[in-house]
Amino acid sequence: MGLDVRPNGVKLDWVISNKEWLFSGLAIAVPLAIIGWLFGGKKSKQTQKSGSHSTNIQAAGNVNIEPVKSDEPLVLRPHLKNIRARRSYDYDEDFIVVELEFCFSVENTSQQSVANWSVSSNLQISQEGVGLKREEFPKIGSGNSYIRLNSTILPTLQMTTELICGLKFKRWEYLEGQVREALEPATLTFKAISDNHVGEETSVSLRDLIAWDELVDGMKLSLKEENIRSLDTIILLKPEDFGQKANQADWVSTDEEEK
């Protein structure tokens, strides 16, 4: 009695008759699809390493990061480093104007960078008519200067700045006496200002801060460089020095004397 061989219930003769179709496409595609489904389901993993006090962010698309807002006050501390002469100008026939420049070092004592800041100051002179504002004399602060492209002060670091005021003195009186009379009793009040903080005011007396000889010499040099005639840029020569009569006097400028 003969037996039909039916491996897994499929007739062997059917396999033989359909061998071309079976092995040409479907029999290969199906196993490959199964293998792909089994092994393709495992997604690749990304590994990130971070340092201390840092946060990792992983996303499938774009990530928008908002700036961290802090209520910490941006505290600046100004230090007055120097007081010096700058430029000079003619005011009218009887008066001249000399610029006084206050040099500050501004320290950032906060834990954040400070981009927008300023130093506000007020020079208090008891002698009336000596101090000039830019509204009264627009030339104050003009001339050669520099433009700071980046004024950001990083935490714990410092940056310099200068404030300029104008002083009006009599042309035909000696400059040193006028300067001392005006500035010895004067006081300067200043403070630093940032976006979210106004610093405490500091008041200093100029009497002990000014190097008087250096300041007056700088003013005289400025007058000479700007070709401004005053008692300090003119030398009174005695008549006998020129063999002239005793009742004659000649005013000769320093430039003429050098020639």
Task: For the chain, 259 residues long, give each residue's pLDDT as a single digit of tens.
Answer: 333 344 444 455 655 666 665 556 656 666 667 777 776 655 555 566 666 656 666 666 676 666 556 678 999 999 999 999 999 999 999 999 999 999 999 999 999 999 999 999 999 998 888 999 888 999 998 877 667 788 999 999 999 999 999 999 999 999 999 999 999 999 999 999 999 999 999 999 999 899 999 999 999 999 999 999 999 988 544 444 444 433 433 444 444 444 4
User: What phi, psi does 109 have (nearest 5°)?
Assistant: -95, 0
Treating both helix axes as pointing N-terminal to C-terminal, what angle do 175-183 and 212-225 enclose, rounded to 10 degrees? 130
Q: Which residues of 47-64 are buried (b: 16+ CB within 10 A; e: fewer)?
A: eeeeeeeeeeeeeeeeee
pLDDT value for 92: 94
Q: With contact defined as beta carbons under 8 Å apart, do 170 and 178 qualify?
A: yes
d(CA 12, CA 5): 7
Mind giving me the DSSP string for 69-133? P------EEEEEEEEEEEEEEE-SSSEEEEEEEEEEEEEE-SSS-B-SEEEEEEEE-SSTT-EE-
Q: With contact defined as beta carbons under 8 Å apart, do 144 and 92 qualify?
A: no
Q: What share of the chain is helix, strand, coil (3-state, %, to 5)?
A: 25, 30, 45
Q: Which two tokens stand for residue 215?
A: 């300041």
The architecture in CATH of the region 76-228 reads Sandwich (2.60)
Please state the domain extents for the chain. Answer: 76-228, 231-259
d(CA 202, CA 160): 17
> pTM of the predicted model, to two decimals?
0.64
Distant-in-sequence contacts of 220-227, Cβ < 8 A, 24+ apart: 220/175, 221/85, 222/85, 222/86, 222/87, 222/88, 222/98, 222/99, 223/88, 223/96, 223/98, 223/175, 224/254, 224/255, 225/88, 226/87, 226/88, 226/89
Task: Name the 3-class secondary structure at 213.
Answer: helix
pLDDT value for 55: 66
Q: Which residues pair with 104 in a beta bridge?
A: 80, 161
Closest CA to 231 of 96, 91, 131, 99: 96
